[in-house]
């Protein structure tokens, strides 16, 4: 157990804290035979664990909220009838309710705490603390974000805290004036995110990208949904823009060039830098011959999400019965 005091966040009675767990710890925990439902991972023929996320196999944009306050009211592009987007306003009172729900769900449990960085640029990166009760979600953020060194972990001070409470839901959402019993909410002032009633790992990844989309431009830097690579000398960078599933990852994995990243980047006076530490590639219809780099990356310590796998662990990358967003 690490010496991480979660009572400072209002999370009490923890029975254990697994801090920045190793891959061995994660594998053992997420494949524990006693687990049930979406908490349990299944090992596959490629030795990567596959997990299922239930109803949500992608983000839930209608359930995304940002607290309106003095800092955010004039700096967020809020959804309107004329220009609809995902930035729905939330009052401080609504925020207090959902934050309390998350903290109550996480209290009295064995928890995973992952400290990581969002952003490869040391001057502008965000130190993020993820708190969750599900092992594979800890695996997800361990893969997706930039791991701190031993020295950085010893002196880690989070700029942002994410409470992932997938097992909790907003039962009184109608009374609160929310869209559903699922909620993904951000408080720009307190620098916190709450995730309720969705198991989809991408809410943590895309949540931090949303926050970098907010904070980087305020510092005069671009935040981009793109992949990027460069030549072998690191002098000539190419960036590939596109919606999810249109080929950013495939185009950037060029064996003749160095990969910077496959999905989320910043651009400052020093050049283009990755916001993440891992790759989040779609594997629908994945073929070893046509996309060997991506296929060969699916091995122990990688994590598959919503892929069709039979009882023996055989993978069917062509099966779309659950989702194409694998």
pLDDT in tens, 124-148: 999 999 999 999 999 999 999 999 9
pLDDT range class, residue 323, cuts 50, 70, 90 = confident
pLDDT in the model for residue 326 = 80
pLDDT band at 264 (very low <50, low <70, confident <90, very high): very high
Mean pLDDT, residues 186-195 taken together: 98
What is the Cα–Cα distance from 140 to 142, expressed in whole angstroms? 5
Band of residue 293 on the pLDDT scale cut at 50, 70, 90: confident
What are 193-204's pLDDT values in tens digits? Answer: 999 999 999 999
DSSP 148-169: PPHHHHHT---SEEEEEETT--
pLDDT over 90 (residue 228):
yes
Write phi, then psi, for 298 (nearest 5 degrees).
-85, 95
Helix axes 135-144, 202-218, angle to 10 degrees: 40
pLDDT at position 27 is 98
Query: Does the pLDDT of residue 244 top 90, yes or no?
Result: no
List CB contacts of 205: < 8 A, sequence separation 6 or more: 140, 141, 144, 276, 280
Whole-prediction pTM = 0.95
Question: In the prediction, which pLDDT does 1 show?
Answer: 40
DSSP annotation string for 188-239: TTTTEEEEES---THHHHHHHHHHHHHHHHHTT-EEEEEEEEE-TTS--EEE
C-alpha distances (whole Å) from 246 to each of 44, 226, 250, 260, 262 are 26, 11, 9, 18, 12
Alpha carbon 191 to chain centroid, angstroms = 16
Render 234-266 in DSSP notation, one character per residue. S--EEEEE--TTSSHHHHH--TTSEEEESSEEE
Dihedral angle of Cα 184, 187, 188, 194, to the nearest 10 degrees: -40
The span from the CA of 165 to the CA of 167, in Å, is: 6
pLDDT above 60: residue 188: yes
- Kindly report, residue by residue over 16-32, the tens digit of the pLDDT: 999 999 999 999 999 99
**What does the alpha-carbon distance between residue 131 and residue 80 come to, in Å, rounded to a whole number?**
33
Write out pLDDT tens, residues 205-225: 999 999 999 999 999 999 999
- Is residue 2 predicted with pLDDT exceeding 70? no
Coil, strand, or helix at residue 301? coil
DSSP classification of residue 95: H
Q: Give residue 145's pLDDT.
A: 97
Would the pLDDT of 283 be above 60? Answer: yes
**Residue 59 tokens, joined:** 């983000």
Report in angstroms the alpha-carbon separations of 41 from 139, 204, 223, 298, 302: 11, 18, 33, 15, 12
Average pLDDT, the chain: 95
Does domain 6-45+58-218 fall under CATH 3.40.449.10? My reply is: yes
In this structure, are residues 197 and 168 in contact, taking their beta carbons and an 8 Å threshold? Answer: yes
The residues of the chain that CATH labels 3.40.449.10 are 6-45+58-218
Average pLDDT over residues 40-49: 97
């Amino acid at each position: 157990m690490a010496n991480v005091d979660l009572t400072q966040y209002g999370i009490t009675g923890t029975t254990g804290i697994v801090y920045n767990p190793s891959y061995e710890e994660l594998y053992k925990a997420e494949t524990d035979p006693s687990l049930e439902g979406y908490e349990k991972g299944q090992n596959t023929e490629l030795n990567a664990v596959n997990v299922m996320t239930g109803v949500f196999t992608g983000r839930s944009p209608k359930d995304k909220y940002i607290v309106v306050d003095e800092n955010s009211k004039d700096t967020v592009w809020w959804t309107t009838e004329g220009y609809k987007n995902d930035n729905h306003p939330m009052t401080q009172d609504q925020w207090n309710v959902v934050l309390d729900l998350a903290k109550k769900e996480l209290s009295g449990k064995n928890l995973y705490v992952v400290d990581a960085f969002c952003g490869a640029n040391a001057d502008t990166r965000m130190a993020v603390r993820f708190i969750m009760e599900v092992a594979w979600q800890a695996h997800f953020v361990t893969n997706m974000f930039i791991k701190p060194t031993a020295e950085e972990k010893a002196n880690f001070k989070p700029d942002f805290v994410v409470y992932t409470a997938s097992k909790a839901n907003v039962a009184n959402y109608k009374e609160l004036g929310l869209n559903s019993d699922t909620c993904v909410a951000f408080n720009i002032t307190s620098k916190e995110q709450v995730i309720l009633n969705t198991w989809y790992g991408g809410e943590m990844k895309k949540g931090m990208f949303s926050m970098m989309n907010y904070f980087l431009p305020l510092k005069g830097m671009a935040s981009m949904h793109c992949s990027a690579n460069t030549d072998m000398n690191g002098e000539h960078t190419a960036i590939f823009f596109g919606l999810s599933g249109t080929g950013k990852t495939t185009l950037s994995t060029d064996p003749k060039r160095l990969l910077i990243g496959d999905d989320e980047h910043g651009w400052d006076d020093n050049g283009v830098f990755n916001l993440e530490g891992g790759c989040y590639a779609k594997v629908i219809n994945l073929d070893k011959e046509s996309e060997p780099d991506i296929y060969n990356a699916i091995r122990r310590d990688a994590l598959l999400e919503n892929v069709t796998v039979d009882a023996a662990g055989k993978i069917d990358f062509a099966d779309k019965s659950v989702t194409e967003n694998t």
